[in-house]
């Protein structure tokens, strides 16, 4: 079987978009659609940034507190009003800045000397003003695990700082100054829960000192937020949340060898928030911003002692937006569902971030010209896109990934699953099962190509569903889900940062009530990969991953889905 990239068979990229985003806020019936011209997924839709208003009482120097106004430099204050602003990625893939002096967000960068941002990134971290020029700088994490410092200006004679290998961490954040030297530091967590400190140096060409392991057991949390100084002692702090919704506070110590004190529980009932971030200002206060699943943005005012007051609503309609510098694991590689219907038409449904799907867009074209025999919608195969990649087998046995002809001989395969970066090298990979029941691992190249395969073993033909699009267990690693055809049990094969998986876990029985099962990616904005299933009546059900290897109670989100013979 060939694995080299050969000729490219062009699948024209569709740029058709939905004309009415208001229709995207309702559950998707399978028949709702808008026609577009092409054979590849539609491009990002038109998206209007929502509005939000910050109460005047919490703006900069207007806020009363124990520290003098101007004594603290907010980490992302782009307009100098004394309050950190919001950096946002919209559903349209564009970047925006939400300044609190205006209700609407502006396209990034606005009329300020802000750092460059690449078109595609996995995460952005706000370290504050490293170079001391009065403008915030940014760390950017690319899908291949490269962390780059993007300062607000170019320094002649100083080499750009970038470092590879950061895909070994599932969360990177800046807690503020936890070492007591006046410079903001960086922390990073591994999938096993170990916490590392990278002390800030204040140098743009070498901004981080060598890593030091400073904690373990932090895998308990699905949100880790670098809070800045919440309790007024001059050191950076950390806010952490468990999947059960319990909120904890870690106060900084100023000691590089043990930078965090023992945790203190400060709240419960936070499970409904899918993104949590800190908002600091020049008066020294730090508030928490939290977005719920419906898209409402809330503020919890800090009391300067590490506590939080009653929440205040800032705005609605924030579902679908990615808020930079939040506490959850970054999600990359897939955000849509594709249906192959009984008329041999491919249909496209965009995740809206609130658990619902947008109305149908047709992937137009002559399907018979391709002689499709198998199809998949693989995650993270192309590092230059945060969306999934169409992976198909033609009638001549050739495999195409995103239009790249990989080679022939693939008609011996009975199932494909592109669940993300399995071997933790920063590139999405492909799984394929042959007619004899062997499951093969094909490492991805990040450019829709494949490396030499590894046989993961036999017996996989006892499973009639192989799906996945990212992390289910909360460790940031992609997991495989498989259904046993004879019993209806759904099995979880956890990611292991290597070629292969950990010991499988039985999620439960009863999954044979679904004719079709698929994983569209993160549907509700919490950074976890969710599932959908279609029952015999054609109803579409959503299962949200709980971050602990299980799924929450199912929710019905559509009807008429028996028009599809397969979902991807």
Q: Indicate yes or no: pTM above 0.95.
A: no
Digit-coded pLDDT (tens) for 306-352: 889 999 999 999 999 999 999 988 999 999 999 999 988 899 999 99
Tokens of 62: 């207007």
Q: Cα separation of 370 and 439, whole Å? A: 26
334-273-264 Cα angle (round to 5) = 125
Confidence bin at 232 (pLDDT 50/70/90): very high
Mean pLDDT over residues 351-355, rounded? Answer: 96
Q: Are 407 and 6 in contact (CB under 8 A)?
A: yes
Task: Tell me the C-alpha distance between 65 and 498, whole Å.
Answer: 50
What does each C-alpha distance from 530 to 15, 312, 385 come to in angstroms? Answer: 26, 29, 20
92-109 pLDDT, tens per residue?
999 999 999 887 888 998
Eight-class DSSP state of 48: P
Split at pLDDT 50, 70, 90, the class of 17 is very low
The pLDDT tens digits for 132-160 are 888 899 999 999 999 999 988 765 556 78
Nearest to 115 by CA among 87, 94, 142: 87
Distance CA(414)–CA(461), nearest Å, equals 9
Q: Give the integer Cα–Cα distance in Å for 485 and 491.
A: 11
Tens-place pLDDT, residues 24-50: 333 455 544 333 333 567 878 889 999
As given in the structure block, the two tokens for residue 537 are 């009546």
Confidence class of residue 365 from pLDDT cuts 50, 70 and 90?
A: low
Token digits for 366? 């002559």
**Chain centroid to CA 514: how far?**
27
The closest alpha carbon to 357, from 481, 518, 550, belongs to 518
Q: For position 65, what pLDDT does the model report?
A: 46
- Scanning the structure block, which residue is given the tokens 């995650």? 379
pLDDT of the residue at 283: 81
How much is the pLDDT for 59?
Answer: 58
CA 439 – CA 413 distance, rounded (Å): 9
Q: Which domains does the chain have, with CATH numbers?
A: 86-323 (2.120.10), 336-567 (2.120.10)
Reduced 3-state DSSP string for 403-444:
CEEEECCHHHEEEEEEEECCCCCCCCEEEEEECCCCEEEECE
- What is the tens place of the pLDDT at every residue in 452-510? 999 999 999 999 999 999 999 999 999 999 999 999 999 999 999 999 999 999 999 99
How much is the pLDDT for 369?
61
- Is residue 2 scored above 90 in pLDDT? no
Q: How big is the chain, counted in residues?
A: 568
Strand partners, 173: 187
Other Cβ atoms less than 10 A from the Cβ of 544: the count is: 21
SS3 content of the chain, % helix, strand, coil (to 5): 5, 35, 60
Q: Which residue, chain included where needed, has tokens 């030499």?
A: 452
Residue 427 pLDDT more than 60? Answer: yes
| CA distance linking residue 1 with residue 410, whole number of Å | 7
Tell the residue number behind the tokens 């259904």, with chain if given: 483
């Amino acid at each position: 079987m060939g694995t080299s990239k050969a000729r490219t068979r062009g699948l024209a990229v569709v740029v058709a978009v939905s004309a009415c985003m208001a229709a995207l806020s309702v559950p998707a019936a399978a028949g709702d659609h808008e026609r577009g011209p092409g054979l590849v997924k539609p491009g990002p839709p038109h998206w209007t940034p929502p509005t939000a208003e910050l109460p005047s009482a919490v703006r900069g120097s207007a806020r009363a507190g124990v520290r003098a106004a101007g004594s603290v430099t907010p980490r992302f204050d782009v307009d100098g009003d004394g309050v950190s602003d919001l950096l946002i990625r919209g559903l349209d893939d564009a970047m925006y800045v939400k300044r609190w002096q205006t209700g609407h967000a502006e396209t990034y960068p606005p009329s300020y000397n802000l750092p460059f941002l690449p078109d595609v990134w996995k995460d952005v971290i706000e370290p504050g003003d490293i170079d001391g020029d009065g403008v915030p700088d940014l760390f950017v994490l690319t899908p291949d695990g490269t962390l780059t410092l993007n300062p607000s200006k170019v320094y002649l004679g100083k080499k750009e700082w970038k470092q590879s290998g950061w895909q070994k961490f599932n969360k990177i954040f800046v807690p503020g100054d936890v070492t007591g030297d006046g410079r903001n530091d960086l922390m990073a967590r591994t999938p096993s829960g170990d916490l590392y400190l990278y002390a800030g140096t204040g140098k743009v060409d070498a901004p981080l000192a060598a890593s030091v392991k400073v904690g373990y057991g932090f895998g308990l949390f699905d949100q880790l937020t670098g809070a800045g100084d919440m309790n007024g002692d001059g050191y950076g702090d950390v806010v952490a949340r468990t999947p059960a919704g319990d909120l904890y506070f870690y106060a900084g110590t100023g000691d590089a060898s043990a930078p965090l004190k023992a945790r203190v529980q400060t709240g419960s009932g936070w499970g409904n928030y899918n993104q949590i971030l800190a908002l600091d200002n020049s008066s020294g206060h730090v508030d928490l911003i939290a977005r719920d699943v419906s898209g409402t943005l809330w503020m919890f005012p800090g009391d300067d002692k590490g506590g939080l007051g009653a929440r205040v609503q800032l705005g609605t309609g924030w579902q679908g937006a990615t808020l930079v510098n939040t506490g959850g694991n970054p999600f990359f590689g897939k955000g849509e569902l594709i249906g192959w219907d009984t008329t041999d038409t491919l249909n496209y449904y965009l995740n809206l971030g609130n658990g619902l799907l947008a109305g149908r867009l047709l992937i137009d074209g002559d399907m018979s010209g391709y002689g499709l025999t198998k199809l998949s919608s693989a995650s993270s195969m192309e590092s230059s896109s945060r969306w999934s990649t169409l992976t198909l087998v033609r009638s001549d046995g050739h495999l195409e990934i995103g239009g790249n002809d990989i080679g022939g001989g693939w008609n011996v395969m009975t199932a494909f699953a592109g669940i993300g970066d399995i071997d933790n090298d920063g590139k999405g990979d492909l799984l394929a099962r042959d007619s004899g029941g062997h499951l093969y691992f094909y490492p991805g190249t990040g450019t829709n190509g494949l490396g030499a395969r590894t046989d993961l073993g036999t017996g996989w033909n006892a499973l009639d569903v192989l799906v996945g699009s990212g992390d289910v267990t909360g460790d940031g690693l992609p997991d495989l889900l498989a259904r046993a055809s004879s019993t209806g049990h759904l099995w979880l094969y956890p990611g292991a940062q290597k070629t292969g998986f950990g010991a499988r876990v039985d999620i439960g029985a009863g999954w044979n009530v679904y004719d079709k099962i698929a994983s569209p990616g993160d549907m509700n904005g919490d950074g976890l990969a969710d599932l959908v299933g279609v029952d015999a009546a054609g109803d579409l059900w959503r299962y949200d991953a709980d971050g602990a290897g299980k799924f929450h109670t199912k929710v019905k989100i559509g009807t008429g889905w028996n028009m599809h013979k397969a979902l991807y």
